[in-house]
Structure 1
Amino acid sequence: MTTTAPQLRKPRGKKRGGVLGNTGLYLATGVAAFLFLVPFYLLVRNALSTDAEITGEHWKFFPTHLQWGNVGDLFDDTSVDFARSMWNSLVVAVSMTAGILLICSLAGYALARIPYKHSNKIFYVVLGTLMVPTAVTFVPSFVLVSSLGWVDTYRGLIIPGLFSGFTCFLFRQYFLGFPKELEEAARVDGLGYWGAYWKVVVPNSLNFFAAIATITFISGWNAFLWPLVIGQDPGAWTVQVALSSYMTNQTVVFHQIFMATAISILPLVFVFLFLQRWLVQGIAQTGIKG
């Protein structure tokens, strides 16, 4: 004869508490999402409005007539070549991203895997660069770039930013957790450090590379101070420098500022939407599972 254990019922109070907890979580998430989206709403709303509607006393949720002509006014403005500045920012951001991924990943892999008696000392020197304020190296960097004749050139905008001590540190820490078994199998097949890096490590680290690429691209696109100093000619302005030119001591063209800002963030939105899956996985990933 078999007996069955009595089933215990969960207290209803805990169930109600769970529902209330979920409701509070959804409410907090909704409030956070609302606060996050408000600046984007204001940006789009003002970009499609006239200056009178932007600065008027009576607020409208959205303008009665959408001013799509503001897009044409922005690109037809002869005082600022906004299309050229967008292209300059794209070249700078893409070049810096590709360069940093290559140089810093190679440096991080060498510090993590290649046995060398001074590797720890070199790593400490790299970490030491993180403790030096940017303001200390800004003037010497400008003097060097100026002496090389790289002012108002892509070389001056890109090359000084092709190495990042922090990115090198991140790659080293990541490669330390990379499974050595995969590299040992590559060495059995006759590959050296270079072959193992290109054929084994990189293909199995695309999530982390995508995360670093996204962060680096956004940083390069949003850079302002260095492009402002190096790009002295309007033809060498990046988009952030061009945005600052719409607000001067004499005039402030509100609809152009908002329209230019809305257009300037579109590449960042596209990059984030395209790489968001790899971005989240890369940030959370400390090694390859399995």
Structure 2
Amino acid sequence: MSDVQVVTSREVPLGGPRAMTVRRTLPQRARSLVGAWCFADHYGPDDVARTGGMDVPPHPHTGLQTVSWLFSGEIEHRDTTGAHEIVRPGELNVMTGGSGVAHSEVSTRGSGTLHGVQLWTALPDAARDLPRSFVHHVPEVLHLAGATARVLLGTLAGCTSPVPTHSPLLGAELVVEPATEVVLDVAPEFEHGVLVDQGPVVLDGVALGRAELGYTSPGRRQLTLANPGNDHARVMLLGGEPFPDPVVMWWNFIGRTHEEIAGYREEWESGSPRFGRVEGYAGEVQRLPAPPLPTVRMKPRIAPPASGDPSAWG
């Protein structure tokens, strides 16, 4: 019996008056985090001319980094670091919203087909109050036996990304050739998630379909990815050491307690300088309003395990 956990996605509307449906794999009741990776949206292929694409008004973040990665199309990114960047396929954009940041995301008129992933990493206690920042990086194409890879964060197959992280992490895109098996050496102290964009893909003997994530706990030194199909398969490989801090996630905020999240919401609604102002966004809604707080007390999605047993992580 395999110990690969299969996490399925659910469809949710991306916030804003022109909502776009995405497939959300993390967080789920079955799996809240993979290392510090705490959020994974998979979207497209989406014909922008037909659907209108993505238009997310300025909205806030705390306690996290956003990791934006496209397979096709373009997104115009503006944020309160002053960054104004066109996100393009094969180009990594990482925004740190430690103590507070706001940004907007709009697919460009020339996008054609919009297709990609939006990922978040939770910041540990030592880094979660960092000032906001933005990094743009173009990873090199790494040629492996039977696959190509682009290393977004961390190290894979001897290639290390220069983008700083605040906990031990791995993030990479892998394109596996048809009817091919690839064996990857990985850090045994990491847990890993394989998020499928184009499949089918078989992870250590377990079949994964589109927008499914295969999770493996720490202890493995290798992962085996097989593509049994006649077309190229593409996955996002996410990894990291089990996250040591409790996490409260609500809307676009990450904190540690209910009171902290409620405070962030109040500051956003009151126009606090914590988040700054996004300049140049041309949409009708200049600030995405926060939804009402839950009627019950928010609890951490995870708690540090009493032992090293990764099965203790919720």
Structure of greater Rg: 1
- On whether the aligned pair clears a TM of 0.5, the verdict is no
Higher RCO (CA-CA < 8 Å; seq separation 6+): 1
Kindly indicate which of the two structures has a greater share of residues assigned to helix: 1
TM bucket normalised to smaller: under 0.3
